[in-house]
């Protein structure tokens, strides 16, 4: 418990008397020179003061805005009182990866975007405080792993991203023998391979994986699901199977020139620059080059900011809609601007232009116009005839979204029912059409939030337990 004394105001008025204070942030000049996290942390006094800005709504909209239904007002009150470990325990009751979600969830679209203070003042710093209390608990050894009494059941988890780690954690805490299989040589999925360290340092994910290992979870890495191990083998060796790998089939453009040299998928670029793992493209150097990124989500922001750190002469984002309808985090967009990224909105590619050596040298673009917004807040766009123009580029990174990767027809995994777009179909219990085989996360819902993957996996773990106990007659 903190003994530091914050400035105290009556609970209903603290938000008015205390200014919102974000996390300390390194200057753009300093942070573009490395891949270290750009944010620091609150001190204890600041954490207590910022938590006291929560007015403890009787029907908290922040909880409704969180995919996990995190008990935010409860741990806000404990944090304001200096009971940081108790606050972290409440946070862990609904989330298996709270210190990770706090760093990469788009809070402005979720809990903070729903805070009742919006329109009157800055919202409560929910993400920053979630990060503080959980980092505090981890630093004080309050989240140490331990092996639960074995219950005699075993479960295979395919994929070590957010869904896989969460399902493994939930099951291990209940006494299941859990083995996690992953194609990559490093566990963590895109948390490690795709998200740049300036947003999420690898040591943070590794610390969480070590806790799982302390709980008895076994990781088998470098194993290609469907080739090195079949579904039949998994079902024979384990009592249940959870499929939690992500949707990593990158979407591409359907315009002339997309096959030119220098046109690369954004995720492949990020993995190459963020890890030492071999990947599908040869070394791709952007130093001194004009880089254009197509797309408006968080992957596009990651590409821009990574290119700048790799010495790009310029990093420009071209997006077919406007700034207000960009799907990515507002915070990441602002960070990209601070670091020197440029943005051109209401613009779509018509063709990619190449040299005689088939190297990309530019783009032919056309202006777009937005239609009326639909229920999601985003409307259709149309191309404006007669507005074509060209822009030079030495590299083009495609950050256009992802689809699930289909199982090869020769694999027995192809027996798992999928939708037309390739997503695995599950019932209300997260179970596929094959008894005992469950799924969750991006492979079911398509590219989505880490919070959604955690929620799916927590539900799947509970349903796996119900399935196995019911089958066993317990």
Asked if 158 and 223 sit in the same domain, the reply is yes
> Has this prediction a pTM greater than 0.85?
yes
> Considering 339, 368, 400, which residue would you say is the last residue of a domain?
400
Predicted pLDDT at 75: 97
Asked if 396 and 270 sit in the same domain, the reply is yes
Asked if 74 and 93 sit in the same domain, the reply is yes
Predicted pLDDT at 460: 98
Note whether residue 436 is domain-resident: yes
Predicted pLDDT at 280: 64
Note whether residue 1 is domain-resident: no
> Considering 348, 381, 400, which residue would you say is the last residue of a domain?
400
The burial class, CB within 10 Å (0-12 / 13-18 / 19+), for 144 is: exposed
Note whether residue 277 is domain-resident: yes
Pairing of strands 290-294, 347-354: unpaired
Predicted pLDDT at 6: 66
Note whether residue 5 is domain-resident: no
Predicted pLDDT at 3: 59
Q: 3-state SS of the chain?
A: CCCCCCCCCCCCCHHHHCCCCCCCECCHHHHCCCCCCCECCCCHHHHHHHHCCCCCCCCCHHHHCCCCCCCHHHHHHHHHCCCHHHHHHHHHCCCCCHHHHHHHCCCCCCHHHHCCCCCCCCCCCHHHHHHHHHHHHHHCCCCCCCCCCCCCCEEEEECCCHHHHHHHHHHHHCCCEEEEEECCCCCCCHHHHCCCCCCCCHHHHHHHHHHHHHCCCEEEECCCECCCECHHHHHHHCCEEEECCCCCEECCCCCCCCCCECEEEHHHHHHHHHCCCCCCCCCCCCCCCEEEEECCCHHHHHHHHHHHHCCCCEEEEECCCCHHHCCCCHHHHHHHHHCCCEEECCEEEEEEEECCCCEEEEEEEEEEEECCCCCCCCCCEEECCCCCEEEECCEEEECCCEECCCCCCCCHHHHCCECCCCCECCCCCCECCCCCEEECCHHHHCCCCHHHHHHHHHHHHHHHHHHHHHHHCC
Rounded Cα gap, residues 219 and 381, in angstroms: 46
Asked if 411 and 380 sit in the same domain, the reply is no
Note whether residue 422 is domain-resident: yes
Residues of the chain with pLDDT under 70: 1-12, 277-281, 376-377, 472-474
Asked if 395 and 413 sit in the same domain, the reply is no
Note whether residue 391 is domain-resident: yes
Query: At a CB cut-off of 8 Å and minimum separation 6, what does 325 contact?
Result: 296, 370, 373, 377, 378, 379
Predicted pLDDT at 440: 97
Q: How many domains does the chain have?
A: 3
Which residue segment(s) compose the domain that 300 sits in?
252-400
Predicted pLDDT at 337: 98
Predicted pLDDT at 377: 67
**CA-to-CA dists, residue 355 to 253, 352, 358, 395, 397, angstroms:** 19, 10, 5, 13, 18
Predicted pLDDT at 15: 81
Note whether residue 65 is domain-resident: yes
Predicted pLDDT at 402: 86
Asked if 344 and 377 sit in the same domain, the reply is yes
Asked if 291 and 366 sit in the same domain, the reply is yes
Rounded Cα gap, residues 281 and 427, in angstroms: 38
Rounded Cα gap, residues 240 and 25, in angstroms: 45
Predicted pLDDT at 372: 82
Rounded Cα gap, residues 132 and 66, in angstroms: 18
Contact (CB, 8 A) for 164 and 157: yes
Tokens 């076994």 appear where?
218
CA 415 to chain centroid, in Å, comes to: 29
Predicted pLDDT at 11: 61
> Considering 365, 382, 400, which residue would you say is the last residue of a domain?
400
Please give the structure tokens belonging to residue 460: 């799947």
Predicted pLDDT at 1: 55
Predicted pLDDT at 4: 62
Pairing of strands 402-403, 249-250: antiparallel
Predicted pLDDT at 407: 83
- The strands making up 437-439's β-sheet, listed across from edge to edge, are 218-221, 177-182, 154-158, 240-243, 437-439
Asked if 396 and 299 sit in the same domain, the reply is yes
Asked if 396 and 407 sit in the same domain, the reply is no
Backbone dihedral angles phi then psi of residue 330, each to the nearest 5 degrees: -60, -40
Predicted pLDDT at 405: 80
pLDDT in tens, 161-203: 999 999 999 999 999 999 999 998 899 998 998 899 999 999 9
CATH code for the domain in which residue 80 is found: 1.10.1060.10
Asked if 392 and 256 sit in the same domain, the reply is yes
β-bridge partners, 349: 365
Predicted pLDDT at 408: 82
CATH code for the domain in which residue 345 is found: 3.50.50.60
Asked if 375 and 257 sit in the same domain, the reply is yes
Contact (CB, 8 A) for 177 and 150: yes
Asked if 257 and 392 sit in the same domain, the reply is yes
Please give the structure tokens belonging to residue 402: 């992802």
Note whether residue 181 is domain-resident: yes
């Amino acid at each position: 418990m903190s003994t530091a004394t914050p400035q105290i105001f009556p609970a209903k008025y603290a938000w008015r008397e205390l200014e919102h204070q974000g996390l300390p942030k390194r200057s753009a000049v300093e942070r573009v020179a490395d891949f270290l996290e750009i944010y620091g942390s609150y001190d204890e006094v600041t954490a207590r003061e910022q938590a006291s800005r929560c007015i403890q709504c009787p029907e908290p909209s922040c909880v409704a805005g969180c995919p996990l239904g995190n008990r935010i007002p409860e741990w806000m009150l404990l944090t304001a009182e200096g009971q940081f470990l108790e606050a972290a325990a409440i946070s862990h009751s609904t989330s298996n990866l709270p210190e990770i979600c706090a760093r990469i969830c788009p809070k402005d679209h979720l809990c903070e975007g729903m805070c009742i203070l919006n329109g009157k003042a800055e919202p409560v710093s929910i993400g920053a405080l979630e990060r503080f209390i959980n980092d505090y608990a981890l630093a004080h050894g309050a989240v140490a792993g331990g092996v639960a009494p074995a219950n005699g059941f075993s479960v295979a988890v395919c994929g070590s991203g957010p869904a896989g780690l969460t399902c493994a954690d939930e099951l291990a805490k209940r006494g299941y023998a859990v083995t996690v299989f992953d194609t990559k040589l490093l566990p963590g999925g895109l948390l490690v391979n795709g998200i740049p360290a300036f947003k999420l340092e690898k040591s943070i994910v590794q610390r969480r994986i070590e806790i799982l290992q302390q709980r008895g979870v076994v990781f088998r890495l470098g194993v290609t699901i469907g080739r090195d191990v079949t579904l039949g083998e998994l079902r024979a060796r384990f009592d249940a199977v959870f499929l939690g790998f992500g949707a990593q089939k990158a979407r591409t453009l359907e315009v002339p020139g997309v096959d030119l040299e220098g046109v690369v998928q954004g995720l492949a670029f990020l993995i190459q620059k963020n890890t030492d793992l071999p990947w599908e493209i040869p070394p791709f150097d952007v130093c001194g080059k004009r880089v254009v990124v197509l797309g408006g989500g968080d992957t596009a922001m990651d590409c821009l900011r990574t290119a700048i750190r790799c010495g790009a002469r310029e990093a420009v984002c071209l997006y077919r809609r406007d700034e207000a309808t960009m799907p990515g985090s507002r915070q990441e967009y602002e960070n990209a601007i601070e670091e020197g990224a440029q943005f051109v909105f209401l613009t779509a590619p018509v063709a990619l232009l190449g040299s005689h050596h088939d190297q990309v040298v530019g783009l032919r673009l056309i202006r777009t116009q937005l239609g009326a917004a639909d229920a999601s807040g985003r409307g259709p766009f149309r191309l404006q005839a007669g507005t074509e123009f060209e822009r030079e580029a030495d590299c083009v990174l495609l950050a256009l979204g992802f689809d699930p990767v289909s199982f090869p027809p020769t694999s027995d995994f192809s027996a798992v029912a999928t939708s037309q777009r390739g997503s695995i179909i599950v019932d209300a219990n997260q179970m596929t059409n094959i008894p005992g085989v469950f799924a969750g996360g991006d492979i079911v819902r398509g590219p989505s939030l880490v919070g959604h993957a955690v929620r799916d996996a927590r539900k799947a773990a509970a349903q796996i337990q119900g399935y196995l106990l019911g089958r066993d007659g317990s």
